[in-house]
Structure 1
């Protein structure tokens, strides 16, 4: 256990590692943040990691935003939208929105951003979110944009809110990475300086619009430092050189949270952990995992509550569905397999495996969880060989259909909708789909093109019921997030797990 005394000793012995002598507090109205990942690119349209999402929320705006308290999408720089017909969306812009250089936002900027992202030469990381449904964005007038769609797709506003950040017209014309270093955004904070891999300095933008769903913004300045070494992060926090760190292990968070100047804040997360089983028989058409009784036995063999409580801790929850309970469409009334080793053994015997069978289980993260899973499966008679390694190796083996079962996780990109996990894992063209049930695929894809929310909900419910009844997965738990923050800072958390630094304020 990483003790409080050890932390104090570390802080005392490495003062030369601290890059600032100033203590973080409300006095200078500067929130100092530490990221373990290096920030090398300011443009979220060209990046993917969680750190870049957090940064983008501070410096960028899209047409729409997500309200985590109401679990709905709300207008941001847009005033709203209207479906003129199933394949045409019209969006109106607010008056008085300006970029950080003072120039006014127009429909031309919005249309340019969307059309560039889906263009043939674009390698934007945001491209996959919209290219399958967007044909083109058209300027109607200075405040109106029309989106012509390739297919009926009721989640278009969701994709706009989650992924596309508006850039000034012409931004990418000469250099697709033009905004990577010199970003002119629309968000509540503007970039003052940027040293790639070291530091981003932000200040609250005076011209930020009052009706933003991110208002009120209450901290004047934010400094984000890249500190890859976790020990350095902890020492900085302990000494007051940093106010906020995340991705903290549970034991460190609990130990450091006992310090008088540090608070341990726990949040839920949309990421869930699960086993995917080769129910179709890709590895062996007659293999044990093609038998539903075996798959149900494996579900009964795993103690979900024990893993969630003792290994994950904090905001972790038991999960029995192939989605997160906080996501729209994640029906919780589907079959739930209680921890029951005796029933697991009985089902294995009924399936013709009274002495168990050999299983190769792959994993790439949280080895302690994988080891507990192995122990529980072996306790009911299944002999498990654990192959724990790099994600790239797992992905390659899965693509080649060489995996019997694997321990996987999925964060849905922070999207509170079952669509964000269902399509990826149950569409026909995904190698993550190891059950290959065409009815499940049809239901999942039908839900994505159904505008009626009640019908969408019903379609996901039917798909999830089949997945649970057939025990294609062993869903286990949701992840928790551990934050360590200055005791002077009030940092709210939300069900989707996304850290919203613009909502922080001094106590």
Structure 2
């Protein structure tokens, strides 16, 4: 029986001619070079079989010869001095996927990092602030009567499925987002003032017309907004019309247009994105990673452990564990002016119309006047809170700033002097209570416990439940009132408040700051039929003026006046705002998160160590 030798066969196959081919192949791809003469020893093995009964003997004759071969010496390819170091994949951890819906009408989330790279926004803001023409919309101009906008679409842009983005797609995207069925109260409000909804008005033009001037609109459909600008997501009309939004949610990738494609989605666990080679909208944004894995991990201790073991690269950081992140070998970066602590009550004004939950006209569900109906009481409640204690609670002045209002911080449009939290003055607070008939807290809130509502807010505002209890304890200590904290799920608590089911009861929560709050003001206080905090005609007047302002100078003045009016009424207020800390892997040496963003932003600015 003959046993063939594979080794012998392979060595025989490497003839001098084939060796020449292989050497030439190695040289391919490099710059041409001068040939050099080298000596190459080639070993040939020849098998000679000698068959013996019940044995197989193989004799080998080994021949050696020296051949002279011409080999091209590769020249090293020059290294681009501007090239960046890249990683194949990075992993981001987040505490929330919101409602995990990808389409602009029904998405609800105060975090946007989990969908940001998949979706294209109509208008891009440079540095997260200044609106420009680098996005799909190259220009946005007011109509002749200033009550609408004409949007100009760039040529040559496509969805992930290769289909071109058309004016009809842009018009459809706006129609889909701004609808009275939208989850967002602001979008519902904007939908109510649309006169002629978006339509293709030219080869590359889309027009939308309102019943009133609304110069805040371009910012609201851009990535300038703190929540990522989901109202400006570009959707493909044909996909929705042919398959429906349920099919889109099952696979949003084909008709999305962002810089990354959706590769895999395991609900409530992980979303995986890969860089899309067809993205041409922003060639100036160079991502230093090819894939982004976004994983849902709520516990801070688990997030830090993942950073320590190298299974995570970006985590939202609780302010109380910054030292642990550094001890784990990570680095820290901050998103400036990211989160405000927002204190508000619903349906407090006389002008608030009746709501579905039973509230309205400044009355509680039993028809009694709400405590928050009285402006002096609103101020007394704010004066009783020690803002420096809150600052210490969150980690000190490096991360918590006693400045700004519930809506605007220093980087916001129209920020100016006098827009700071009411001073801590417990004596003044007690004096007001006595003047109003509640000496030493007696009779306040009809001698019923004062109700506070909140929900876990994640790392952007850590220990929000404990902070709510701290607010309660201050009111109990300084004003001698009984106070109770109610903890619920975010969407459920919001539904209770916005429907008027818990009128006058205090909501303590985190919220994002925005650059342009015109639409927020209109939704919170400036719409008689649907203000979701409370309707105030004096604020509505100021908001209508700011929405009609056109020039930068007009806008600055109008927004400042509106900020002053809102702040003076104190329907809502804030003890200050937080810079959002993020823990990152040790090899991430540069990153420039945008200001006024509620989540990890500007991922294209991440750079890795050499």
What range describes the TM-score normalised by the shorter chain of this pair?
Answer: 0.7 to 0.9
- 1:178 corresponding residue in structure 2: 247
Aligned equivalent of 1:493: 593
2:451 is the alignment partner of 1:361:
yes
Change (3 A) 1:42 1:279: closer
- CA spacing shift, 1:87–1:334, aligned 2, 3 Å: closer
Structure 1 residue 372 corresponds to structure 2 residue 470: yes
Structure ID, larger Rg = 2
Deviations 1:326-383 (A, max 9, x none): 3223444257532233333344444454423435131213222222222322333331
The alignment partner of 2:273 has SS state of: strand
In the alignment, the residues of structure 2 paired with residue 112 and residue 470 of structure 1 have an alpha-carbon distance, to the nearest angstrom, of 39
Answer whether contact 1:272 1:479 (CA < 8 A) is retained.
yes
TM-score when normalising by structure 2? 0.68
Match of 2:605 among 476, 493, 503: 503
Distance 2:252 2:421 in 1: 51
Q: Mark the CA change 1:117 to 1:352 in structure 2 (over 3 Å): closer, same or farther.
A: closer
Structure 2 residue matching 1:345: 3-state secondary structure: helix
* Equivalent position of 1:156 in the other structure: 217
Q: Is the 8 A contact 2:97 2:109 kept in 1?
A: no
Counterpart of 1:66 in structure 2 is 125
Q: Counterparts of 2:494 and 2:182 in 1: how far apart (Å)?
A: 25
Q: Go from structure 1 to structure 2 and tell me whether the alpha carbon gap of 1:386 and 1:330 turns closer, same or farther (over 3 Å shift).
A: farther
Please give the alpha-carbon distance, in whole angstroms, between the structure 1 residues aligned to 2:158 and 2:440: 69
TM-superposed CA distance for 1:240, in Å, is 0.7
Q: Judging changes above 3 Å, is the alpha-carbon distance between structure 1 residues 133 and 75 closer, same or farther for their aligned structure 2 residues? A: farther
Other-structure match for 1:308? 391
> Matched residues in 2 for 1:286 and 1:115: separation?
40
The alpha-carbon distance between structure 1 residues 363 and 451, as it changes in their structure 2 partners (threshold 3 A), is same
Deviation at 1:475, TM superposition (A): 2.5
Q: CA deviation at 1:172?
A: 0.4
Query: Contact 1:323–1:330 (CA<8 Å) still a contact in 2?
Result: no
- 1:76 aligned to 2:135? yes
| Residue 363 of structure 2: aligned partner | 282
What's the CA shift for 1:488? 0.9
- Choose the corresponding residue for 2:274, options 187, 199, 203: 203
Aligned partners of 2:267, 2:505: CA distance in 1, in Å?
40
TM-score of the aligned structures, taking structure 1 as reference length: 0.81
* Secondary structure of residue in 2 paired with 1:60: coil
Say yes or no: does 1:99 pair with 2:167: no
CA contact (8 A) 2:153 2:204 kept: yes
SS at the partner of 2:380? helix
**Deviation at 1:312?**
5.6
User: Which residues in structure 2 correspond to 1:99-178 (within 5 Å)?
Assistant: 99-117=159-177, 128=188, 131-134=191-194, 135-161=196-222, 162=229, 163-173=231-241, 174-178=243-247
1:431-455, CA deviations, whole angstroms, 9 ceiling, x for partnerless residues? Answer: 6545x54212332344334434544
Q: Is the 8 A contact 1:73 1:157 kept in 2?
A: no
The answer on 1:317 being equivalent to 2:413 is no
Worse-superposed segment, 126-135 or 194-203: 126-135
| Alpha-carbon separation, structure 2, partners of 1:210 and 1:292 | 50
Q: How many residues align?
A: 475
Change (3 A) 1:453 1:430: farther
1:478 aligns to 2:577 (yes or no) = yes
Structure 1 residue 139 displacement after superposition: 2.5
Q: Structure 2 stretches of 5 or more lacking a match?
A: 1-84, 223-228, 351-361, 456-463
SS state at 2:413 partner: coil
**How far off its partner does 1:190 sit?**
1.9
Measure the CA separation in 1 of the matches of 2:371 and 2:417. 28
Q: What secondary structure, in the 3-state scheme, does the structure 1 residue paired with 2:286 have?
A: coil
Q: Which residue is 1:22 aligned to?
A: none
Q: Report whether the alignment pairs 1:327 with 2:419.
A: no
Distance 1:69 1:131, change over 3 A: closer
Cα distance change on mapping 1:54 and 1:130 into 2, 3 Å: farther
The verdict on how the C-alpha distance between 1:396 and 1:118 changes in structure 2, with shifts beyond 3 A counting, is closer
1:187 equivalenced with 2:285 (yes/no): no
Q: Is residue 564 of structure 2 the alignment partner of residue 465 of structure 1? A: yes
Q: 1:371 to 1:276 in 2, by over 3 A?
A: same
Q: Deviations over 1:202-225 (max 9, x none)?
A: 22222322645x613332222223
Relative to structure 1, is the Cα distance of residues 395 and 408 closer, same or farther in structure 2, using a 3 angstrom cutoff?
farther
